[in-house]
Amino acid sequence: MEKEIKNCGRPSGRMKTAKIEVAIEPEIKEAFMEKLRKEGKKASAEIGIWIREYIKDKEV
């Protein structure tokens, strides 16, 4: 079996240095977290990917 290569989250050796807080309704958060659990994903990694893609898409 091949080892899966992940391209998400914080690079190895990098420290977590910042936090972004998002205020959403508890039922929305729970639905989001449940879908991530079913997919075997972590919220921080997914949100980090979305932020990086957003920045890349908005660069001129």
Mean pLDDT over 8-22 rounds to: 73
pTM above 0.75, yes or no: no
Residue 47 has pLDDT above 80, yes or no: yes
C-beta pairs of 36-43 under 8 Å, 24+ apart in sequence:
42/9
Q: Where are the domains of the chain?
A: 26-58
Question: What pLDDT was estimated at residue 11?
Answer: 64
Question: What pLDDT was estimated at residue 19?
Answer: 85
Question: What pLDDT was estimated at residue 18?
Answer: 79
User: 56 in the Ramachandran plot: left (φ > 0), alpha (ψ -120 to 50) or beta?
Assistant: alpha
Going by pLDDT thresholds of 50, 70 and 90, the confidence category of residue 8 is: low
